[in-house]
Structure 1
Amino acid sequence: MVRGNVSDLIAFLAVARAGSFTRGAGQLGISQPALSQTIKELEGRLGLRLLSRTTRSVSTTEAGERLLRTIAPHFDGIEAGLAALTELRDKPAGTIRISVGDQPSESILLPVVAQLLPQYPDLNVEISVNNGFVDIVAERFDAGVRLGETLAQDMIAVPIGPDLRMGVVGSPAYLERKPAPRTPHDLSAHACIGMRYTPEGGIGIWDFDKDGRAVNVRVECQLVVSTISLARLAALQGVGLAYLPLDYVEPYIKAGELVSVLSKWCGLFPGYHLYYPSRRQHSAAFALLVDALRRSR
């Protein structure tokens, strides 16, 4: 295959995975018009339309999806092989991109990365904080961090944190105005602080468990936020009750700034895991980070 065809396939792969000519052009470091022309020429040579274009999105046609499934593993293998060459160097090197929520980014990931970077000056880590569900393969992340109960089955999952317990907390001032709830159903009479993890997603459900009895409550929220740091701050300021990981608010509970309620209804669930595709070969740098996170648990 001539060099031009390989470049065209790389261009197609970038657009198909990004779902956007603009984002694909940014990843390749070329202009959007130049990328669009490359795709048109590829489609012309093949005599097939590979991408469906609308004003809002780009998606693969049936032919485009078949081409994507055919070529993507080969290019991934080439990238992995090149990355694996770092094992021949004295120290791991390269860039690792990780998608993670705001709490584990601060409490788990960043402390480990902060210890590694001074020891390995050729290692670069990009931490992308996103509380929604990110397709790490499509977005070209090396790994993601997510709670164990929400992991896809085709991923390798490495526990990097202890089991967690959620809690409902409010300020003493708020609980002076409103009697503390005795059961999850009592939350309907309270001002609750909701979490919407993505703009298009729904408000998070509050999950409870007591003596093996599961109760899922869809609370009515006067205030909705997108990060747990804002939910905690709102609870501290007396806005209402927040549903948060207890380890995240424990210092404020000990200081008397927050009060935990419904504790008998809040059970343990699997903690944070680092996850990544099982089919991908990883570099020495990635293996180093995985091992460090595993040992820090």
Structure 2
Amino acid sequence: MRRDEFTEIRAFLEVARERSFTRAAAKLGVTRSALSHTISALEGRLGVRLLSRTTRDVAPTAAGERLVESIQPHFESIAAGISAIGALRDKPSGHVRIVCPDDAIDLVFRPRLPAFLHDYPDITVELIIDNGFTNIVERQFDAGVRLGEAVARDMVAVRIGPDVSYAVVGSPEYFRRRSAPANPQDLTGHNCVNLRLPTLGALYAWEFEKDGREFSVRVEGQLILSDIGPAIHAALDGIGLAYVPKDLVRPYVESGHLRAVLVDWCPTFQGYRLYYPSRRNPSPAFSTFVEAFRYRDR
């Protein structure tokens, strides 16, 4: 295969994976126009259209899907072979790509990342924040992070954090305007900060439990966000009540900047798991990452 052919095929696979010329160009380090020219050259040489382009989407045609299925495994084998060569070095090296919710950054990774990166200077860690249910195989992530209950059974799941308790919090300023809710049903009369689930497009229903009974409450409010971090800031600013991991707001509660309510109703979920396909042969860098972040209850 000539060098230009290899470049064209790699460019096509990236566009087909990302479903976007803009995102694929950013990953490949080229301009969008140069990438479009490369794809056009490949289609011209093969004499068949590989991508269907609209103003809002890019998707492989039937011929494009067939090409992806036939050549993608070979490119993955090349990447695996290159990673295997890295295993011959004194210390593992490579790039580890993880997709995770934003609160997992502070709850799981931030406390341990400095030591890991110091101990393994040849490993690059890329953490992509996505609170939806990302297809890690399709997007070529090494692994994803979810709470224990949400991991699919066909995935290898490694626990990387303790159980996560949630809390409903508001600022003193907010509670000067409104009385605290006595039970979860009272939340319907409060200004609550909603979270939009990117995968389903729906608003997250706040989950509660008491005396063995589990239920959800759909809350309303003036502000809708997609990440937990900004929801905490909104609560601190007095905008409304937020439903967030207790450990992330503990300093604010202890300092009096936030007040926790409905404490007896708030649930605890299984801790975060790092999950990845069981059929994938992990690189030395990824295996090292997994062992370093494996949760060990002391």
Q: TM-score, normalised by structure 1?
A: 0.88
Cα distance in 2, alignment partners of residues 102 and 22 from structure 1: 24
| Aligned match of 2:81 | 81
Deviation at 1:292, TM superposition (A): 0.8
Q: Cα gap change, 1:25/1:222 in structure 2, threshold over 3 Å: closer, same or farther?
A: closer
Return the letter of the residue paired with 1:68: V
Corresponding letter in the other structure for 1:156 = V
CA contact (8 A) 1:81 1:281 kept: no
Tell me: CA distance 1:30–1:178, structure 2 relative to 1, closer, same or farther (3 Å). closer
Maintained 8 Å contact 1:76/1:280? no
**Alignment correspondent of 1:274:** 274
Aligned equivalents of 1:238 and 1:25: distance in 2?
41
Alignment of 1:253-268 (within 5 A): 253-268=253-268
CA offsets 1:202-239 (integer angstroms, 9 cap, x no match): 33211112233222211111222333232223223332
Alignment of 1:92-241 (within 5 A): 92-196=92-196, 198=198, 201-241=201-241
C-alpha separation between the residues in 2 aligned to 1:229 and 1:26? 26
Tell me if the contact between 2:221 and 2:240 (Cα under 8 Å) persists in the aligned partners. no
Distance in 1 of aligned mates of 2:49 and 2:153: 33
The alpha-carbon distance between structure 1 residues 37 and 257, as it changes in their structure 2 partners (threshold 3 A), is closer
Which sections of structure 1, spanning at least 5 residues, go unmatched?
none
Larger mean CA deviation between 267-276 and 192-201 belongs to 192-201
Question: Partners of 1:216 and 1:200 in 2: how far apart?
Answer: 17
State the alpha-carbon separation in 1 of the partners of residues 22 and 224 from structure 2.
31
CA distance in 1, matches of 2:9, 2:261: 57
Comparing 279-288 with 36-45, greater Cα deviation is found at 36-45
Letter in 2 for 1:94: G
TM-superposed CA distance for 1:27, in Å, is 2.8
Q: Which amino acid aligns with 1:88?
A: L
| Correspondence for 1:14 | 14
Q: Contact (CA 8 Å) 1:96, 1:142: kept in 2 or not?
A: yes
Deviation readout 1:256-291 (Å, 9 max, x if unpaired): 332222222222222211122333322211111100
Q: Work out whether residues 184 and 215 of structure 1, in 8 Å CA contact, stay in contact via their aligned partners in 2.
A: no
Go from structure 1 to structure 2 and tell me whether the alpha carbon gap of 1:131 and 1:20 turns closer, same or farther (over 3 Å shift): same
Contact 2:22-2:32 within 8 A present in 1 as well:
yes
3-state secondary structure, aligned to 2:16: helix
Which deviates the most, 208-217 or 287-296? 208-217
Code of the residue aligned with 2:113 in structure 1: it is V
CA change 1:268–1:295 in 2 (3 A) is closer
Letter in structure 2 aligned against 1:150: A
Q: Does 1:292 align with 2:292?
A: yes
**Residue range with higher mean Cα deviation, 151-160 or 26-35:** 26-35
2:245 paired residue number: 245
Structure 2: state its 5+ residue gaps: none
Question: 1:143–1:275: 8 Å Cα contact kept in structure 2?
Answer: yes
Q: Distance in 2 between matches of 1:267 and 1:277?
A: 29
Q: How far, CA to CA, are the matches of 2:288 and 2:138 in structure 1?
A: 24
1:119-138, Cα deviation, whole Å (9 max, x unpaired): 22222222233334433334
TM-score by length of 2: 0.88
Amino acid of the structure 2 residue aligned with 1:140: Q
Higher mean displacement: 54-63 or 272-281:
272-281
- One-letter identity of the residue aligned with 2:9: L
The DSSP-based 3-state class of the residue aligned with 1:157 is strand
Counterpart amino acid of residue 275 in structure 2: Y
1:67 equivalent in structure 2: 67
Q: What residue identity is the alignment partner of 1:242?
A: A
Alignment partners' CA distance in 2, 1:84 and 1:14: 22
Question: Matched residues in 1 for 2:49 and 2:30: separation?
Answer: 22
One-letter code aligned to 1:179: S
- Deviation string 1:116-168 (CA, Å, 9 cap, x unpaired) is 12222222222233334433334333222222223334432211111212121
Contact 1:192 1:221 in 2 (8 A): yes
Counterpart Cα distance in 1 of 2:178 and 2:61: 56
**Distance verdict in 2 for CA 1:230–1:74, change over 3 Å:** same
- Paired residues in the alignment total 297
Partner deviation per Cα, 1:179-208 (whole Å, 9 max, x = no partner)? 322222111111112223549833321111
Aligned partner letter, 1:194: N
Q: Tell me, yes or no, if the aligned pair for 1:80 and 1:280 is still in contact at 8 Å.
A: no
